Amino acid sequence: MGTLRIHFTAEDVSRTRLALSPDPLWEIVCSLHRLQTWPKHPSRPGYAGWHQRIRRDAQRHNLAEMIRSRLLPLVPLGGYFPDFLTPGPVTSVDAGLDLIRGTGKPRVRDELNRLGSSAGAEVWLSDLAAGRAGALDDLGTALRRYFDIAVAPYWPQISAAVSGDRALRGARILGGGIGQILEDLGPSARWTPPVLSIHGYPADRSIPLNGRGIVLIPAYFCWHTPIALADPELPPILVYPARRQPATAPTTPTRDLGPLIGHTRLAVLHATSGGATTGELARRIGISPGTASHHASVLREGGLISSSRHGNLMVHRLTSLGSALLDGTGQDPAP
């Protein structure tokens, strides 16, 4: 194993910033890494319940083979994966998938050639690398279907973890300056100005920022080791484990509403528990504002939420019927 060393100037430190919200594409990639740790590391804090649920839901929705043969070969655990899968930071999964679909063929080819072949996925990876018509669309569809069963149901917990991490680092900045934002980015990271060292990386790497600054993205499904983009010419990004309570999330409900109203719509229902605008719903769940508005309309027509306009903003809240429905699942509303 090697060490990733990121070299900061004083300007880089001052230009370091935190992502405003979770990045749905990085959560997809990191969760695919987590999926590959089972059953080798079943006791990793906070993921045991998720492992069980995703494997059950993948079988239920006939997605297990798609995940195994199409997605896992693209993001091998502990190794290189293509940068075009995470064209962030992004806040909407639909917008992010549009960026992936729009990736230029030369870049897709070059990054997949660096990835190499994977047993059982040679044809799929070759089609992507060759720019076959529809291949990137197929990838976008696969990623969206995976997101819906593996990430979207957990978006309230993801948002809470990222918000809590941002609040903690914001307090540290107020108390000790912007450099404090680089402290405690995971057990493998060490900030010794002017170098941030990340141990346990697949290989030794050195990234001089040269005044560009860096965006730090806290991720719920990132575990232990922060992750940087492979191409040093791309805008610098570092994804790191969001601080959170080591508990499974969410607990297994007594009645699963996901198959009835859809996991994304269920996530929207959870996200309205404390009141939220359409834009906030979109950011919390990782969907476009248009998609959030559509789901809110369906829930409002069903009497599960109410909506009121305040200037240019539409604010959505749970109704008593919506609260009763969530209470009946045994799940806590979204924070």
Query: Which domains can be identified in the chain, with CATH numbers?
Result: 2-19+156-241 (no CATH), 24-154 (no CATH), 258-329 (1.10.10.10)
* CA-based nearest residue to 217, from 27, 33, 1, 37: 27
pLDDT of residue 195: 96
Query: pLDDT class for 41, splitting at 50, 70, 90?
Result: low
pLDDT of residue 328: 52
Mean pLDDT of 43-72: 86
pLDDT at 222 over 60: yes
Tell me, yes or no, if the pTM score tops 0.95: no
> Do the beta carbons of residue 198 and residue 3 sit within 8 Å?
yes
CA distance 223 to 227: 10
pLDDT at 168 over 80: no
Mean pLDDT of 44-72: 87
The burial class, CB within 10 Å (0-12 / 13-18 / 19+), for 28 is: buried
Of 250 and 266, the structure prediction assigns the larger pLDDT to: 266
